[in-house]
A and B are shown apart, each in its own frame.
Chain A
């Protein structure tokens, strides 16, 4: 593997976070949209990719492409090595105790479905309960609904308060003798709320209940240490953390992974096959049936190394400053209401405006070159809770600057003007 040269001056970079310099690593940002410089504030949906990630994927296909774990030739050995090295990078990034706790999947969605089908389904009995929260993404709701239908288990939901914070007293009440698993989002994609997952996990563990954390939005913004959290499962997607689409991670505690059924059957996940029976491969391969997304895994490894050079504390602090600037500026705009005002928040500004539908805000901002998301953000029950059809959402990343925030504010003011005229 080629060692990217940024690793050499990583210590220098750590001291001062320089978004203007970071921007140069992202070729896509260097363009205009509708005659304006692109201001990309839809990072919650997917982030852009630095040149080193694009190069890693490209290099893999140019030089090393081969199937993994099954060839004796040089390219296969190289591909396998790069793929497994990426697994080690992921393991270090979230501080897993061993890289065999890292399973490559398609994304957060597949990670949660895997846990629902391989862990929960064989263990659930009618009347058992899965406990999630009111602010979950559909991908942390629907897989549980499916497994509940399959087993007769029930889905229970921890409510939030108006600020968008979990009602922890209600959580304590809902944790019951029939609760078999808790699923909770680490950082809400619609509200920006950072949940006290450590506290949530401790309370569940006190009753012997495992916890799955949906880290799709958390990993790019805050340091995540799965051992310190003590979570049983942690899921995230590559494409939201500067990596490619179609690759994601399920972290699982080794004893749980060992005890689980495979998710899919096929090549790669077996030791020996006869027509009578098959002997499954060891963890994590047991959960990686078929030829995996090798280039995606390599791209993700590169993305995590790229992000790690800045230090996640510095990244989080920088993005918090952008959020603070945006939050303050929008408070002057008449008829604008922020959805999600939790004390602990990261990187996401969701809002609605009197008389201007989020979709119209999105279109008007787009004509100014500002990309945001408008809609329910795959959290329909949460929108119902607030009695709104959706929100406009700006979400920040390492390459956003205060000028981007200012462009956002100008765009929102323009929307106000268009609709007030």
Chain B
């Protein structure tokens, strides 16, 4: 009880730093996820149509995902220096796979009869993609984005190692100085942030889900 009171005392005393770092954290995550979506969804669409590209692209994303996160961050420093750029880069690389995979899966899982009907009534390939495939695949695509966003919140805490800022700064400072309150404050906010992102993700996922998938069960 005493410990908890101390923690909250610390948090209110340092609220402005905590808020700044949270915003920083969100900025990095947001930028990275934004880029990952802009990259991953079109790439996913591309490899759904150009089948020969599918294996190499997914393979490459798999390999990237397999690199330990700290190792990846370290590896980027010689090329991109320290700071936000390598951090964003690393998060994008990690987020790509779920988004890419879910885009491909989502598009592939659109009912074959629906697609045949679309072709049969004379829609062009582009119209089928934009009016039928993407709307129907959107929930699956967005589920990938949601997974990416939640993992990214965690990954960005590590990015403090290469000077990207964010809540990692508070956590690592707490570890270095053996300040439990500081450590816990950073970790707690990071957790809350991750859960919040997941919740918001869930809400958006519902919004993009066509009515037909919601009630039919």
The reply to whether chain A is a binding partner of chain B is: no
Question: Interface of A with B (CB < 8 Å)?
Answer: none
